[in-house]
């Protein structure tokens, strides 16, 4: 009911905003994902206009670069840097969506990804033949993603009644509980050792265990996740979600089901995290409790914050920087000191730019004089 | 103006120096060897000591092997298999090392072995990982382990326990791969010779509260078999003492280490006589061992008072890798065939016994049975009472007999009654 009403309101509103930006009546609903200068083709159908809004020339440049990348990079850079960044980025994107657009910081996104990864190993094939059911991979993946999404919804349903730091605490508790469950349960999760030899499938001669095919698979999933978020935050559901983030009481009094919207946001984020989890289990060829321990849960938060939570691309930028640092910091400083470099860079980025890498980018553009607000709402824009 | 000049001069000089160095480097060829240990996470201190062991092996050869200067490409994990494979992949695929040494812990070893299969052109040599699965199950043809593993380390302890009159024991052990192997190594001979393990308490790694385990310890046992490590062992001991426990103990390879020997409780005296076993002991009375300890102390002022298990294991694996390079004079051509043949034929006297490997490329080596003894100055140490040479990975059983028993797990082996 409420969504339909909102859609009606927004249809008139959206038409107006394209001509009259920042109309007073709509000012408290921020169109975060919207490029500020969209290429609007006059007199076009709604679908094509949306496409034009989403795909600007610079997108094509980035897209071509991403597609050409594995052809010029070494297998190591394609697989370990490229594919891993895309997989981790997708999980971090689920947190960006929840945190940036829904105002709910969940630490359990890695847990959702881990549930999906574990289920792929349990339903599919692995070294633990006594546990794995050996289903065909499409069925295993489908069930794994579906159940992980359900689990994410349940986590959401449990934690939406809390705010701020309490959401972080409750999702942390859920994540840690699942970690111990996986570590101590032997009948289902195979305890400390977990599952080895969980391999990506090969379809018609295309072996996804190879670096380049796996990179394209990860790229496909990452792009799907990215555009899903871009579309969703402009859709009535996303707009309502952002409204709830900014003023839940007001949205409630306007007739929106606040809890339902928040739980739905967890479900959508869970879907993305689950797909990211399947990618990561195929990437590692294995899963064990160490994959989803507290450190891994916090890494996802670091990636999201590092990149910036104002825009979905931040998750992927953060993941690239994170993966590069994890791999190459040890070459800069010898021995055990290399974690100091990783921590130092994180600290510097967050210290100088509360909006992460995206904030730095906006800062540079502003310095160059071509700046324009990163955010459509001037109040939230860094001065 | 002056600054600019200086800057240019410096740059020119730097470029010239770089060229000269480049020339020199070509004259003396460098060979990169990957080295993986845990420099982060719960095993950071052991990982650091493992690296010391590898460094020591290289220093003893003045940084050279096979006529080439050896350079370690060091990478780190946090003891999770995922991270171990990522780090290994970085060294192998990005830094292009032809030889890779590591990792440290058991499950990492299995993950790296699985990765080794995808890189047939690279030779992988274990660091200190001791999981049976790395070489017994589905071994990789290019993964070598010059150290014995967890089950081998306990062989002979079963007979020793029976000789001490312990006919019935109760087991307390951590619930993961390494203790499974250790318990199997103990029980294989203990059960065969008539000993009984009346019950097993598997506790999660990092358990703080042992009350429920202690409550279940039967009255009519002769001893406790405790296969716990580090703080888990100290916590168990303290709580067992407080609960009034008085049974003697038998320990695993990492149970009765310095942290436990420095344990200050009232029950400290009762630690005397505690038997354990391992691939090395601080008090081995041979010239090779004493030289190894002296070299370690001379080279690492920041190291431990005596080399740890991890330093020793990384040392022998690195030494085997470098010696084989000498044998083939640095020739890694032809898919490293000559080098791998040389590795297979490895046979030298290590600090704690001869180093050689079987056809699964796993070590056949010596285990030391020790007992806690009081030194003249009042401190406690592990005194070597016996050494058991030439222990194979099938624990002295034939392949068929070992296959029948299966790999160690929670329920294998079993001899309750």
The model's pLDDT over B70-108, given as tens digits with 9 standing for 90+, comes to 999 999 998 889 999 999 999 999 999 999 999 998 889
Strands B68-77, B64-65: pairing is antiparallel
When pLDDT is averaged across residues A50-54 and rounded to a whole number, the result is 64
Question: Are A80 and B175 in contact (CB < 8 Å)?
Answer: no
Q: Is the ipTM of this complex over 0.85?
A: no
Q: Of B147, B60, B123, which Cα lies nearest the Cα of B331?
A: B123
- Is the pLDDT assigned to residue A24 strictly greater than 60? no
Residue of B220, B225, B156 whose CA lies nearest to B193: B156
- Does the beta-carbon distance from A75 to B93 stay under 8 Å? yes
Residue A37 near chain B (CB below 8 Å) = no
pLDDT band of A361, cuts 50, 70, 90: confident
- Please judge whether B205 and A192 are an interchain contact, meaning their C-beta atoms are less than 8 angstroms apart: yes
Beta strand A202-203 pairing with A206-207: antiparallel
| A167-171: average pLDDT | 95
CATH for the stretch B26-147+287-361: 3.40.50.2300
Q: Do A76 and B94 touch (CB under 8 A)?
A: yes
Contact assignment for B90 to A327 by CB distance below 8 Å: yes
Closest alpha carbon to A326 in A338, A316, A336: A338
Which helix or strand (DSSP H or E) is residue A346 part of? Answer: helix A338-352
Query: d(Cα B262, Cα B381) in Å, to the nearest integer?
Result: 10
Rounded Cα distance between A268 and A235, Å, is 13
Contacts of A335 in chain B (CB under 8 A): 39, 48, 51, 74
B41, B85, B89: residue with CB nearest A76: B89
> Which tokens sit at A288?
């064990």
For residue B40, which residues of chain A lie inside 8 Å, CB to CB?
336, 339
Q: Which of B154, B357, B345, B171 is nearest to B249 (CA)?
A: B171
Q: Is A330 close to B75, i.e. CB distance below 8 A?
A: yes
Measured distance CA(A101)–CA(A261) in Å, rounded: 12
Q: Is the dihedral of CA A29, A33, A37, A40 positive or negative?
A: negative
Please list every residue in chain B whose beta carbon sits closer than 8 Å to the beta carbon of residue A291: 80, 82
DSSP secondary structure string for all residues of A86-120? HHHHHHHHHHHIIIIIH----TTHHHHHHHHHHHH
Residue A334: predicted pLDDT = 66
Backbone angles phi, psi at A171, to 5 degrees: -70, -35
User: Residue A192 and residue B76: Cβ atoms within 8 Å?
Assistant: no
The CA distances from residue A278 to A127, A144, A150, A267, A289, in Å, are 17, 8, 15, 16, 15
Q: B176 with A193: CB under 8 angstroms? A: yes
Using alpha carbons only, give the angle B207, B209, B215 rounded to the nearest 5 degrees: 120
Q: How far is CA B267 from the centre of its chain?
A: 30
Closest chain B C-alpha to A199 CA, distance in angstroms: 11
Cβ of B39 under 8 Å from any chain A Cβ? yes
What does pLDDT average to over chain A?
85
**Chain B residues close to A186, C-beta within 8 Å:** 410
Q: Nearest Cβ partner of A196 from B41, B83, B111?
A: B111
- Which residues from chain A sit within 8 angstroms of residue B91, using beta carbons? none
Q: Using CB atoms within 10 A of its CB, is residue A48 exposed (0-12), middle (13-18) or buried (19+)?
A: exposed
Residue A233: CB atoms within 10 Å: 23
B168 touches chain A (CB under 8 A): no
If we measure between CA atoms, which residue out of A170, A264, A260, A211 comes closest to residue A86? A211
Query: Which of B214, B217, B218, B213 is CA-nearest to residue B203?
Result: B213
Which of helix, strand or coil describes residue A131? coil
3-state secondary structure (DSSP) of residue B342: helix
When scoring A77, A299, A328, A336 by the number of chain B Cβ atoms within 10 A, the one with the most, hence best to mutate, is: A336
The token pair at A358 is 């995206």
How high is the pLDDT of residue A51? 65
Alpha-carbon Rg for chain B in angstroms: 23
Nearest to B89 by CA among B31, B127, B126, B36: B36
Q: Does B117 touch chain A (CB under 8 A)?
A: no
Q: Hey, how many other C-beta atoms are within 10 angstroms of the C-beta on B300? A: 18
Enter the DSSP assignment of A41. Answer: P
Q: Compute the average pLDDT of residues A322-347.
A: 84
Q: What phi and psi values does residue B388 have, to the nearest 5 degrees? A: -115, 110
- For residues A48, A52, A53 and A57, what is the CA-based torsion angle, rounded to 10 degrees? 170
pLDDT number for residue B370? 95
Reply yes or no on whether the pLDDT at A164 is more than 70: yes
User: Confidence band (pLDDT; 50, 70, 90) for A56?
Assistant: confident
pLDDT < 50 positions in chain B: 1-5, 19-27
User: Above pLDDT 70, what percent of chain A?
Assistant: 81
* Protein fold of B152-278+367-405: Rossmann fold (3.40.50)
* Nearest C-alpha neighbor of B351 from the set B316, B300, B305, B314: B316
Q: What is the DSSP letter of B246?
A: -
pLDDT of residue B3: 45
Nearest-by-Cβ selection for A288 from B90, B107, B410: B107
Residue A319 has pLDDT above 70, yes or no: yes
Q: How far is B262 from chain A (nearest CA, A)?
A: 27
Strands B123-125 and B99-101: parallel
**A288:B80 CB<8 A:** yes
Name which of A186, A193, A330 is nearest B74 (Cβ-Cβ).
Answer: A330
Chain B residues 372-401 with a CB less than 8 Å from chain A: none
Contact at CB, B177 and A193, closer than 8 angstroms? yes
Do A196 and B79 lie within an 8 Å CB cutoff? no
Contacts of A76 in chain B (CB under 8 A): 89-90, 93-94
Q: What is the DSSP letter of A353?
A: -
Task: Provide, rounded to the nearest whole percent, the portion of chain A with pLDDT above 90.
Answer: 63
> Can you tell me the distance from the alpha carbon of A155 to that of A175, in angstroms, rounded to the nearest whole number?
10
**What confidence score (pLDDT) does residue A374 get?**
53
What is the distance in angstroms between the Cα of A274 and the nearest Cα belonging to chain B? Answer: 18
Per-residue pLDDT tens over the stretch B152-170 = 999 999 999 999 999 999 9
Nearest chain B Cα to A339, which residue? B40
Terminal-residue alpha carbon distance, chain B: 92
Q: Cβ A184–B177 below 8 Å, yes or no?
A: no
In this prediction, residue A37 carries a pLDDT of 45
Q: How far apart are CA A353 and CA A130, in angstroms?
A: 51
Is A288 within 8 Å of B114 when comparing Cβ atoms?
no
Contact B89 A339 (CB under 8 A): no
| Closest CA of chain A from B287, distance in Å | 32
Q: Does B110 touch chain A (CB under 8 A)?
A: yes
Does A341 touch chain B if contact means CB atoms closer than 8 Å?
no
Disruptive mutation site among A290, A297, A319, A328 for chain B (greatest number of B CBs within 10 Å): A290
Please tell me the distance in Å from B205's CA to the nearest CA on chain A: 9
Nearest to B324 by CA among B52, B31, B24: B31
Rg over alpha carbons for chain A, rounded to the nearest Å, is: 21
CA atoms within 13 A on the CB side of A381: 15
Residue of A nearest to B51 (CA): A335
Matching residue, tokens 């009042």: B378
Would you call A339 an interface residue with chain B, using a CB distance cutoff of 8 Å? yes
CB contact under 8 A, A76 and B93: yes
Contact assignment for B94 to A80 by CB distance below 8 Å:
yes
For the cut 70, the answer to whether the pLDDT of residue A8 exceeds it is no
Coil, strand or helix at B220: coil
- A199/B contact by beta carbon, under 8 A: no
Residue A336 near chain B (CB below 8 Å): yes
Inform me whether the pLDDT recorded for A154 exceeds 90: yes
- The alpha carbon of B342 is separated from its chain's Cα centroid by a whole number of angstroms, namely 23
Gap between the Cα atoms of A36 and A18, Å rounded: 10
Are residues A284 and B89, on separate chains, in Cβ contact within 8 Å?
Answer: no
Q: What is the spatial distance between Cα A376 and Cα A156, in angstroms, rounded to a whole number?
A: 28
Cα separation of B236 and B174, whole Å? 11
Q: Where in chain B is the domain with CATH 3.40.50.2300?
A: 26-147+287-361, 152-278+367-405
CA dist., res. A103 & res. A97, Å (int)? 9
The Cα B248–Cα B275 span in angstroms is 9
Measure CB to CB from residue A191 to each of B74, B83, B175 and give the nearest one.
Answer: B175
Cβ contact B81–A75 (<8 Å): no
Cα–chain center distance at B98: 23
Contact B388, B155 (CB under 8 A): yes
Angle A16-A58-A100 (CA atoms, 0-180°, nearest 5)?
A: 60
What residues in B contact A184, CB-CB < 8 Å? Answer: 175, 204
Report whether the peptide linkage leading into residue B390 is cis, meaning its omega lies within 30 degrees of zero: no
- Orientation angle between helical segments B81-89 and B106-116, nearest 10 degrees: 40
**A147: phi > 0 → left, psi -120 to 50 → alpha, else beta; which?**
alpha
User: In the prediction, which pLDDT does B131 show?
Assistant: 87
């Amino acid at each position: 009911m409420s969504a339909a009403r909102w859609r009606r309101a927004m249809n008139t509103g959206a038409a107006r905003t394209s001509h009259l930006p920042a109309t007073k009546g709509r000012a408290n609903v921020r169109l975060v994902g919207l490029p500020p200068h969209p290429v609007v083709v006059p007199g076009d159908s709604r679908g094509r206009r949306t496409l034009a809004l989403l795909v600007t020339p610079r997108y094509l440049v980035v897209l071509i670069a991403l597609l050409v990348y594995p052809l010029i990079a070494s297998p190591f850079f394609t697989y370990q840097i490229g594919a891993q960044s895309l997989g981790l980025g997708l999980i971090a994107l689920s947190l960006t969506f929840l945190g940036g657009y829904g105002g709910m910081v969940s630490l359990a996104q890695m847990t959702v990804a881990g549930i999906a990864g574990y289920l792929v190993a349990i339903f599919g094939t692995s070294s633990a033949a006594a546990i794995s059911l050996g289903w065909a991979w499409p069925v295993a993946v489908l069930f794994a993603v579906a159940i992980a999404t359900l689990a994410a919804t349940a986590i959401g349903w449990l934690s939406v009644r809390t705010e701020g730091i309490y959401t972080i605490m409750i999702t942390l508790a859920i994540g840690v509980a699942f970690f111990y469950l996986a570590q101590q349960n032997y009948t289902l999760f195979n305890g400390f050792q977990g599952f080895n030899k969980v391999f990506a499938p090969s379809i018609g001669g295309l072996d996804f265990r190879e670096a380049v095919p796996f990179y394209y698979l990860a790229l496909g999933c990452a792009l799907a996740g990215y555009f899903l978020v871009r579309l969703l935050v402009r859709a009535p559901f996303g707009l309502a979600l952002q409204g709830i983030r900014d003023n839940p009481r007001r949205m409630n009094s306007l007739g929106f089901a606040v809890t339902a919207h928040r739980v739905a946001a967890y479900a959508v984020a869970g879907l993305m995290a689950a797909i990211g989890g399947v990618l990561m289990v195929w990437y590692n060829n294995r899963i064990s409790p160490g994959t989803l321990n507290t450190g891994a849960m916090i890494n996802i938060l670091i990636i999201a914050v590092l990149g910036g939570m104002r825009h979905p691309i931040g998750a992927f930028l953060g993941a690239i920087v994170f993966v590069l640092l994890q791999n190459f910091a040890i070459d800069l400083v010898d021995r055990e000191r290399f974690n100091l470099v990783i921590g130092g860079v994180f600290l510097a980025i967050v210290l100088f730019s509360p909006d992460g890498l995206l904030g730095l980018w906006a800062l540079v553009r502003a310095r160059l004089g071509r700046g324009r607000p990163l955010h459509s709402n001037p109040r939230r824009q860094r001065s | 103006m002056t600054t600019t000049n200086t800057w240019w001069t410096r740059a020119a000089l730097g470029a010239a120096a770089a060229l000269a160095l480049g020339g020199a480097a070509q004259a003396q060829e460098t060979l990169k060897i990957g080295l993986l240990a845990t420099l982060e996470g719960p095993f950071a201190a052991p990982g650091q000591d493992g690296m010391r062991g590898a460094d020591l092996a290289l220093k003893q050869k003045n940084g050279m092997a096979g006529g080439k200067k050896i350079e370690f490409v060091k990478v780190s994990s946090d003891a999770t298999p995922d991270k171990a494979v990522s780090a290994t992949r970085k060294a192998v695929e990005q830094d292009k090392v032809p030889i890779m040494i590591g990792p440290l812990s058991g499950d990492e070893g299995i993950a790296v072995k699985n990765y080794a299969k995808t890189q047939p052109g690279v030779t992988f040599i274990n660091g200190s990982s001791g999981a049976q699965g790395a070489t017994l199950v589905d071994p990789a043809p290019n993964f070598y382990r010059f150290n014995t593993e967890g089950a081998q380390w306990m062989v002979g302890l079963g007979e020793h326990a029976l000789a001490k009159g312990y006919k019935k024991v109760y087991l307390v052990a951590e619930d993961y791969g390494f203790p499974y192997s250790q318990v199997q190594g103990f029980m294989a001979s203990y059960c065969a010779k008539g000993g009984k393990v009346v019950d097993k308490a598997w506790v999660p790694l990092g358990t703080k509260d042992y009350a429920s385990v202690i409550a279940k310890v039967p009255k009519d046992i002769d001893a406790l078999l405790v296969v716990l490590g580090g703080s888990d062992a100290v916590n168990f001991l303290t709580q067992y003492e407080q609960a009034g426990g008085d049974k003697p103990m038998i320990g695993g390879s990492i149970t009765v280490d310095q942290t436990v020997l420095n344990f200050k409780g009232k029950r400290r005296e009762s630690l005397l006589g505690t038997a354990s076993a391992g691939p090395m002991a601080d008090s081995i009375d041979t010239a090779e061992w004493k030289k190894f300890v002296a070299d370690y102390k001379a080279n690492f002022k920041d190291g431990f008072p005596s080399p740890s298990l991890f330093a020793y294991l990384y040392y022998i694996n690195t030494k085997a890798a470098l010696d084989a390079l000498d044998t083939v004079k640095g020739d890694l051509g032809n898919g490293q065939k000559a080098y791998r043949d040389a590795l297979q034929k490895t046979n030298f006297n290590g600090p704690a016994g001869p180093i050689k490997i079987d056809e699964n490329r796993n070590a056949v080596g010596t285990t030391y049975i020790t007992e806690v003894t009081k030194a003249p100055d009042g401190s406690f140490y592990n005194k070597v009472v016996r050494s058991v040479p030439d222990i194979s990975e099938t624990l002295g059983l034939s392949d068929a007999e070992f296959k029948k028993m299966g790999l160690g797990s929670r329920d294998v082996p079993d001899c309750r009654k």
